[in-house]
Amino acid sequence: MSAVATYFKNIFHALYTVLVGMKITGSRLFKRSVTIQYPYVKKAIPERARNRLYVNIDDCIGCNQCGMACPVDCITIDTIKSTPDVDLGMTSKNTKKRLYIAKFDIDFAKCCFCGLCTYPCPTECIYMTDVYEYSEYERRNLIYSFATMTPEEIEMAEAKLKQYEAEQAAKKSAPPIPPKPSQPSNPSDGSTAS
């Protein structure tokens, strides 16, 4: 094609494509946008979404399986053994609880939402909810404490445990009670061992 023809062809091609482009953008100008206005309108999130954890502390037996399973070590659990005369109640799976939960902290700044802590829990007391809007202004507000023991209760439990263990230790180390001597048989036929 000669240069002149190419020149004109290019000009008309350019003008034509500009008009085609303008038609497309012009038509999109009048179509509804797909944006949703987030704080006022929220999209529903899937049913089994893995977001913030929740612990039902009444069911927790203090086994620390979740703490051991966590890959980033965000769960910290401190327990106190209970003495045999205290009844801590039953879990929902009808097992007896034997430990006081003094501290159950989850640091959500570290939590990576993998869900590995939810699988080993024997009573299924730790599970993931669908809450995702929990930003805080200070980082320490992201450490959630789920334990419900007050410091006085913890002191009392510890003191009780100490006392019980002291008693147990004292029992173990006391001198053995000499066995009661068995009654010598009464020699009724007169033979005496001399």
Indicate the residue among 8 and 184 with the shorter CB distance to another protein.
8
Asked if 171 touches another protein (CB under 8 A), the answer is no
User: Least separation, in Å, of the C-beta of 24 and another protein?
Assistant: 8
Q: Sign of the C-alpha dihedral, residues 124, 130, 135, 136?
A: negative
Asked if 37 touches another protein (CB under 8 A), the answer is yes
Compute how many residues bind another protein; rule: CB under 8 A: 15
Asked if 34 touches another protein (CB under 8 A), the answer is yes
Residues listed for the chain: 194
User: Least separation, in Å, of the C-beta of 46 and another protein?
Assistant: 24
Indicate the residue among 14 and 166 with the shorter CB distance to another protein.
14
Instruction: Give, as one character, the DSSP assignment of residue 116.
Output: T
Instruction: Give, as one character, the DSSP assignment of residue 15.
Output: H
* Among 114, 136, 135, residue whose Cα is nearest residue 126: 114
115 dihedral zone (left: phi>0; alpha: psi -120 to 50; beta): left
| Footprint on residues 9-28 left by another protein (CB under 8 A) | 11, 18, 21-22, 24-26, 28
CA distances in angstroms from 61 to 138, 155, 169, listed in the order given: 31, 20, 26
User: Least separation, in Å, of the C-beta of 23 and another protein?
Assistant: 9
* Among 56, 120, 118, residue whose Cα is nearest residue 89: 56
Asked if 188 touches another protein (CB under 8 A), the answer is no
User: Least separation, in Å, of the C-beta of 132 and another protein?
Assistant: 21
Asked if 35 touches another protein (CB under 8 A), the answer is yes
Q: Give the one residue of 1, 31, 84, 174 binding another protein; rule: CB under 8 A.
A: 31
User: What are the residues facing 75 on neighbouring strands?
Assistant: 106
In degrees and rounded to multiples of 5, residue 96 shows phi and psi of -80, 140
User: Least separation, in Å, of the C-beta of 16 and another protein?
Assistant: 13
User: What are the residues facing 76 on neighbouring strands?
Assistant: 105
Measure the CA dihedral 155/157/163/167, to 10°: -170
Asked if 33 touches another protein (CB under 8 A), the answer is yes
User: Least separation, in Å, of the C-beta of 88 and another protein?
Assistant: 52
Please report, as ranges, the residues that interact with another protein according to CB under 8 A.
Answer: 11, 18, 21-22, 24-26, 28-31, 33-35, 37
